[in-house]
Chains A and B, each alone.
Chain A
Amino acid sequence: MSFWEYANPKKFMGWTAPVLPYVFGAAALCLTVGLIWGFFFTPDDFRQGSTVKIIYLHVPAATMATGTWFMMLAASLIWVVRRHHVSALAARAAAPIGLTMTLIGLLTGAIWGQPMWGTYWAWDPRLTSFLILFLFYLGYIAMWEAIEDPDTAADLTSVLCMVGSVFAILSRYAVNFWNQGLHQGASLSLDAEEHVSDVFWQPLVICIVGFVLLFVGLVLMRTRTEIRARRIRALEARARRA
């Protein structure tokens, strides 16, 4: 069987139903362990004090904010090239999740920034590109809602997604591109000298895995909902014609 057959709406509904409880269960387990470990059992940072505990929400949310956009880009490209309806619906389903992750990243960053930088907001390259990414999410969701024909909506949102990818890349790598601004470099890196201390790193990785699993579970559930909504529209249109 070809890989692409799993994207057939009927097959997709079939294989995702039994998988969903395991994905949500694993996400709940990772988030519970990671957040409790991080919040209750890690020490304060010698410079940042207890605000370092915000890292367990801020970094996973920011990672998922850009990661979700890249997933939407991949799904949009599959739609443009292969015209798989499920891929277009998956991109649509992912957008509100990415929007929420971006909002969490922005808000926790502002709350963390005030005591550390002395300000909630600065027009720093990373912060600014993240704000633009947030606006792109809003525009993407609004475009899906505004266009009645689903195929036209999928085409136009795919183009918007490709344009917005520039800001998703900038959001992630702005600190490397422009060595200026308030925001620090990557918290996680293959370079042991660069990334956070092990005592923070271990629960942080578990939280990131939890956020990824939560994202996967929500995308699958929301894509199933979009498939059902599309089927309802098709049946209603057929009933009107009869």
Chain B
Amino acid sequence: MPDLGKYAVEVLAAYGVSLGLLAVLIVLSWRRSVRMRAALERIENNG
């Protein structure tokens, strides 16, 4: 871990917020993708 000095809170907060938001975006996009694929397969198999 590098020595971030007196700005450690700001730097770590910026990284935490950014990586957290990116993770939420990726997880939500992936979950909706899986849900839609399953729903379409179900409808096409039943129809």
Partner of A111, one of B4, B17, B43: B17
Q: Are A51 and B7 in contact (CB under 8 A)?
A: yes
Q: Which residues of A contact B (CB under 8 A)?
A: 39-40, 44, 49-51, 53-54, 57-58, 61, 96-97, 100, 103-104, 107-108, 111-112, 114-115, 214, 218, 221-222, 224-225, 228-229, 231-232, 235-236, 239
CB-CB under 8 A from B40, the residues of chain A are 228, 231-232, 235
Partner of B11, one of A51, A221, A232: A51
Bound form: Cα–Cα A40–B22 in Å: 20
Instruction: Given A58-B14, A224-B33, A228-B40, decide whether A100 and B22 contact each other with a Cβ distance below 8 A.
Output: yes
Q: Which residues of B contact A (CB under 8 A)?
A: 2-8, 10-11, 13-15, 17-19, 21-22, 24-26, 29-30, 32-33, 36-37, 39-40, 43-44, 47
CB-CB under 8 A from B25, the residues of chain A are 96-97, 100, 218
Q: Are B10 and A218 in contact (CB under 8 A)?
A: no
- Measured CB to CB, the closest approach of chain B to A30, in angstroms, equals 13
What is the predominant secondary structure among interface residues of chain A facing chain B? helix
- Which 3 pairs, one residue from A and one from B, show the smallest C-beta to C-beta distance? A50-B4, A228-B36, A57-B18
Bound form: Cα–Cα A97–B41 in Å: 26
Bound form: Cα–Cα A5–B39 in Å: 27
- Measured CB to CB, the closest approach of chain B to A205, in angstroms, equals 18
Q: Are A54 and B36 in contact (CB under 8 A)?
A: no
Excluding A53-B11, A111-B10, A218-B26, 14 further A-B contacts by CB distance (< 8 Å) are A54-B11, A54-B14, A61-B18, A97-B25, A104-B18, A104-B22, A107-B18, A112-B14, A221-B33, A222-B29, A225-B29, A229-B36, A236-B43, A239-B47
